[in-house]
Amino acid sequence: MSKKSIDIAELKEKARQFRKEDLEIITRAGSGHPGGSLSAVEILTSLYYYKMNHRPKEPDWPLRDRFIMSKGHACPIVYVILANCGYFPKEELKTFRKFNSRLQGHIYIDVPGVEHATGSLGQGLSVANGIALGARIRNVSYNTYCLLGDGEIQEGSVWEAAMTAAHHKIDTVCAIIDCNKIQQNGPVIEIKNEEPIMDKWRAFGWHAIEVDGHNFEEIIAALDEFETVKGKPTLIKANTVKGKGVSFMEGQSKWHGKAPKKEELAAALNELGF
Amino acid sequence: MPEMKATRDGFGEALLELGRENKNIVVLSGDLEDSTRAEYFKKEFPERFFNLGIAEQDVIGTAAGMSMDGLVPFACSFAVFLTNRAYDILRLTVCYNNRNVKIIGSHAGLTVGPDGATAQCLEDFAIMRVLPNMTVLCPVDALEAKKATRAMAETAGPIYMRLSRPPFPVITKETDIFEIGRANVIREGKDVTVIACGFMVSEALRAAELLEKDNIGARVINMHTIKPIDQAAIIKSAQETGAVVTAEEHQMNGGLGSAVAEVLVRNIPVPVEMVAVNDSFGESGESEELLKKHKLTDVDIANAAKKALNRKKRS
């Protein structure tokens, strides 16, 4: 994918389309995680259509940038984007969460374009660090991106990995937290307050950037900044809205892991302008 | 008297040799490389060695990431911490993704001695062998540990190997063949079969000598691979001897004995007696004291063999 041309309007239109397809496959499946996939749309669109070097027709291209989806439950939006990139036929999206499908309920390794299966939270950042250290040992150059949820960083293993990345000066790792403020049983701030998140990551030795996670200009600027930072890993705190784009889902913990009914899908698509 | 040498020493030497031969070998440690002997590798290849601190989940996760582009990571710590603390990472990140990660758990079993129950891992076989894609090894001596380390590097997929702290008798020979999943019969006998792993193989050999005085012929099998277990060897010995004793420095629930029993009940249900720790934690003490208290000695194996024989005669 070319880094040179940025057409924000085009990215916005893609994001609108991806939200539609995300909700459609979750509705068809009858289960899934709409809230945390809708909050990550702009982040993932920026990675796959702007920042990352990757070749959908050559998923194993050795010099591709790596992406680890640590918040594996939000996989439907990744599947939608990978299919739209051309990693596999869009028709296959209809099999999401169905028996015999590669599109498992949490992100799955057999799906073309997926580097690693996750689903138990807090495991992706260590893997990203390992990929980056492996590249350093083998003297090859690519970046590794890792998307985490804000609920997810309550897992202690995330902080083990945060220390490792800083100690080993892994400047080829960019962790992005989809801070949608809501976890399964309520607001993060009520369940286990994580703020000040920026101060915590800086104290752990990271270069930390805060953005509006639905603003393409800000996300893209942060991803570009990451590539200029040497000697330390970069964290992007993306402030997002859970269920973004569908008013009745926005900020609602009940839409963390529930599929819309057909009429709810129709209302949502109507709101998205379809 | 055979040479005495710890399995961890054999591992450390083999890891260093592998490091010299294969630049893809990398080593990760949870700040115990002095104890696990991974430090031999560290001294010669510091650029391929990572002490990630006291963070076993991160050690395993990082190892999995390193394995994704052709490196062969050995993740090393005490057995109890790597298998228990990092279990969810081993399950999902390593086994579900079928990563080529080699997991080295040292200081397992009661023979850790004075450190007591917290370090005495007695459940690693059970919790590792239940994981799909995982292979589980427990070498009998330092020489076999060297061969097993090489086999691990040459075999794709997640492999766990249990090592021990104290020196054990070296009972194998350089020329003995080690093959993952293929048990070695190290003593012939026609009346009863003792299937053991690790240090307990030495106890089993002494038990066989005790039994010989009573005109009982005990076959001894070194079951160095707990998973995939050598079903053919188990069935054949059960057919030929009609009674089986298992012996391991592990909980009775879920370990080698269970693995052997699972094969026997489905194929040839002969009497089985299990010599193992009976659903309790260890404690501080010298190896000999602990093995005696928990009934893991040559005498205990011989008694179990007689019990199995009596059951065979009655049936």
Write down the ipTM of this complex. 0.97
Integer Cα distance of B193 and B200 in angstroms: 14
Contacts of B3 (CB under 8 A, 6+ apart): B169, B170
- Which pLDDT does position A62 carry in this prediction? 97
DSSP-derived pairing of the beta strands A173-179 and A144-149 = parallel
A128-160 per-position pLDDT tens digit: 999 999 999 999 999 999 999 999 999 999 999
pTM of the model: 0.97
B30 touches chain A (CB under 8 A): no
B96 touches chain A (CB under 8 A): yes
Structure tokens at B104: 């080295």
Structure tokens at A233: 């890993």
B97 touches chain A (CB under 8 A): yes
Residue of chain B minimizing CA distance to A115: B68
Contacts of A204 (CB under 8 A, 6+ apart): A159, A162, A163, A166
Q: Is the pLDDT of residue A30 over 90?
A: yes
* B56 has catalytic annotation: yes
The chain-wide mean pLDDT, for chain A, equals 97
Query: Catalytic residue among B13, B39, B56, B248, which?
Result: B56
Which residues of chain B carry a pLDDT beneath 70? none
Which residues in chain A are closer than 8 Å to B57, comparing Cβ atoms?
A: 122-123, 126, 156-157, 160
Residues facing residue A177 across a β-bridge = A148, A237
Structure tokens at A176: 């992005």
Q: pLDDT band for position A6 (50/70/90)?
A: confident
Structure tokens at B76: 């090393």
A201-224 mean pLDDT:
98
Contacting B with CB below 8 Å, chain A residues are: 62, 109, 115-120, 122-123, 125-135, 137-138, 140, 156-157, 160-161, 163-164, 168
- CA B13 to chain CA mean position, Å: 18
- Closest CB from A116, A137, A168 relative to B97: A116
Integer Cα distance of B28 and B38 in angstroms: 9
Integer Cα distance of A259 and B224 in angstroms: 49
